[in-house]
Amino acid sequence: MRLALLAIPAVRSAVALELARDIEYHEEIGSTQDRARELAARGAAPTIVVADEQTAGLGTKGRRWDAPRGTSLLGSWLFRPAPGEAGVFVLLAGVAIARALEGLGAHDVLLKWPNDVELGHKKVAGVLAHATTDGEGGSLVLGIGVNVHQRTSDFSAPLRATATSLAITGTMVDRLSLLAVLSAELDRLAVDSDRSPVLAEWRRRATLLGREVEVTREGAPALRGIARDVAEDGALLVGGERIVAGEVRLVG
Ligand code: BTN
């Protein structure tokens, strides 16, 4: 439960100083992402909003992101100015999460376009990005959920086939350490203007590249083809098409 140490003002100040950004800790909140976007709209300085529990956690494509209290790292990082476009920064954040998890003892962390982080071919973390423009470099809010302490019984029956946690895969980590390591990795990528080596690392970790996939997009017929590459802006290249949003699954 070390994350709850952030409720102590002196601890929070020390960690905020170390991470060079404000920290807002909530025992319970609707969604750290909604709160960080509120702060972004008000012009707040770089902040991490972190919570022990969300009552209305947001996933991608309008889905919910649920986690029992105290089991997960649930945080939203407000960057100002925005370090990049949301589409590509979701991929970079995946690399930051993979590096952080491996730095803390996990092995072979893989990435599924666009925002899934996988261990043992199951999802262990996800990323959500919202960007705003304001004529002064704008802001980017990156929401990250990492399954840390869940046991199999904490996942609903249908999720058990596709979701996992660090604990289930044998990596014991405390969430405050993960917050610190991950924040440092995100900052490292945010200040690095040369995206090529990070995208190369993304490609090495990618589960879909070179394989046949089916893409489902709203308002468009399903598309089958080989996932060839990712573009500099984060789009997935499938056959001759650029995919910027959609559901992608392996065929066969
Ligand atoms: C996904 O669907 O893969 C993205 C999940 C992102 C979940 C995180 S948890 C912290 C932050 N607050 C939210 O409401 N969502 C993101």
pLDDT on residue 120: 95
Spatial distance between the Cα atoms of 141 and 131, rounded to a whole number of angstroms: 6
Containing H/E element for 238?
Answer: strand 236-238
What is the best residue among 74, 122, 178, 179 to mutate for testing ligand 1's pocket, by most ligand atoms within 8 Å of CB?
Answer: 74
Contact indicator for 122, 230 with CB cutoff of 8 Å: no
Of 49, 56, 70, whose CA–CA distance to 143 is shortest? 49
Confirm or reject: Cβ of 94 under 6 Å from ligand 1.
Answer: no
pLDDT on residue 136: 82
Confirm or reject: Cβ of 59 under 6 Å from ligand 1.
Answer: yes
- 38-85: per-residue pLDDT in tens? 999 999 999 999 999 999 999 998 899 999 999 999 999 999 999 988
Average pLDDT over residues 216-221: 88
- What's the mean pLDDT when you consider all of the chain? 95
Confirm or reject: Cβ of 147 under 6 Å from ligand 1.
Answer: no
Which structural domains are found in the chain, ordered by start? 3-205 (3.30.930.10), 212-250 (no CATH)
Instruction: Determine the 3-state secondary structure of 70 from DSSP.
Output: coil
pLDDT on residue 153: 96
| Nearest CA, atom 15, ligand 1 | 58
Spatial distance between the Cα atoms of 222 and 252, rounded to a whole number of angstroms: 16
Reported pTM: 0.96
pLDDT interval class at 1 (50, 70, 90) = low
